Amino acid sequence: MKEVSSVDGISSPEKNKVEGGTLYLVGTPIGNMADISGRAVKVLKEVDFVAAEDTRNTGRLLQAIGSDRPMISYFEHNKKSKGEVIAGRLQAGESCALVTDAGMPGISDPGEDMVRLCAERGVPVTSVPGPCAAIDALVLSALPAGRFSFEGFLPTVKSERAKRLDEVKYDRRTLIFYEAPHRLRETLSALREALGNRRISLCRELTKLNEEIFRSDLDRAVERYAESDPRGEYVLVVDGASEERPAEDRWWAGLTVPEHVEGYVSRGASKNEAIRMTALDLGLSKNHVYKLVLASDGK
Ligand code: SAM
């Protein structure tokens, strides 16, 4: 029989019992401690151990909620080795809560790799849903929320960023991007250049004291941050395209495969990147593109 739990007097026959051998993805606040859920507190107090992206951050959270559970670090640069350790402990019957710096594990952070590893090993995974900056920004943006595309962080390599933006240029859905303050100006300019002037809602410091939603267009957003320094955390919500992609709009239309590769190289890509992106554009294998380039080099 399912356990009946009570959180602040609300009883519900939900699956609130912490089970051994299970990974719990626990959503944590994106800036406002009061957003921690009753169920998140319960799981963070009862699991055998907590896997944390930043043990200092999570240490403060655990202290605030009165959890004494031991922590293990799990982040981008140790996720391979630590993932194995965590999966091994789960397979041996321990329960683990995975928390990242903020929000839902797996959204633009290493959580998704841990879920994949557990799925491969047959380890049960469940979630304790919590805040997610992308969804919070979308609903506050005043832009259409019915259909959207979450794009996360744009690539930092210029040619890859240009390719990504070209891919979404004619997407009719609302687009959601994450960005760090020190890259905001460059990203706004890249968005303006690639997508034209469109409505944008810049959602800053969500759930925090200085929360701000700037609903405007890309021209004004670029202007605004030419004058003031970006501060805090941002989600950019951008209106979808108003028209379909014209057939002749592909920059490589009419080029041979080697010229297509050269086009990427002249935009700053390495030869390997250019071959990979050309193969993706044309739906060919990298090997085939490589051979065509070699053949044309030998002419
Ligand atoms: N897993 C998180 C989630 O569920 O939203 C996202 C992690 S990602 C590494 C961090 C990015 O999320 C930030 O660079 C920013 O773009 C966005 N973000 C997180 N908290 C935010 C907040 N309070 N206000 C605005 N954006 C935020």
pLDDT value at residue 142: 98
Quick check: CB of 62 below 6 Å from ligand 1? Answer: no
Residue 245 clears pLDDT 90, i.e. is over it: no
Residue 207 clears pLDDT 60, i.e. is over it: yes
Residue 262 exposed, middle or buried by CB count within 10 Å (0-12, 13-18, 19+) = middle
Quick check: CB of 138 below 6 Å from ligand 1? Answer: no
Identify the residue whose tokens are 């080099």: 297
**pLDDT one-digit tens code per residue, 139-163:** 999 999 999 999 999 999 999 999 9
**What are the residues whose beta carbons fall under 8 Å from the beta carbon of 262, sequence distance 6 or more?**
274
Q: Which domains does the chain have, with CATH numbers?
A: 17-131 (3.40.1010.10), 134-238 (3.30.950.10), 247-297 (no CATH)
Alpha helices in 122-242 (DSSP H): 133-140, 158-168, 184-195, 218-227
* Nearest ligand 1 atom to alpha carbon 135: 5
Gyration radius of the chain's alpha carbons: 23
**pLDDT one-digit tens code per residue, 113-128:** 999 999 999 999 999 9
The residue to mutate among 30, 109, 188, 203, having the most atoms of ligand 1 within 8 angstroms of its beta carbon, is 30
Distance 233 CA to ligand 1 centre (A): 7
CB burial readout 14-34, b (16+ within 10 A) else e: eebebeeebbbbbbbbbbeee
Q: CA angle 112-130-80, nearest 5°?
A: 20
d(CA 223, CA 231): 16
pLDDT value at residue 297: 84
Of 26, 91, 13, which Cα lies nearest the Cα of 53? Answer: 26
Interval 263-272 mean pLDDT? 91
Tell me which residue has its CA closest to atom 7 in ligand 1: 108
Of 43, 83, 29, which Cα lies nearest the Cα of 207? Answer: 29
Give the strand pairing for 96-99 and 125-128.
unpaired
Residues 220 and 148 sit within 8 Å (Cβ to Cβ): no
Distance 212 CA to ligand 1 centre (A): 14
Phi, psi of 264 (to 5 degrees): -70, -40
Check residue 103 and report its DSSP letter: B
Residues 100 and 110 sit within 8 Å (Cβ to Cβ): yes
How far is the CA of 135 from the CAs of 104, 148, 187, 234, in angstroms?
11, 10, 20, 13
Distance 103 CA to ligand 1 centre (A): 7
Average pLDDT over the chain, rounded to an integer? 93
Alpha helices in 197-270 (DSSP H): 218-227, 257-266
Residue type, 198: R
> Model confidence at 1, in pLDDT bands (50, 70, 90)?
very low
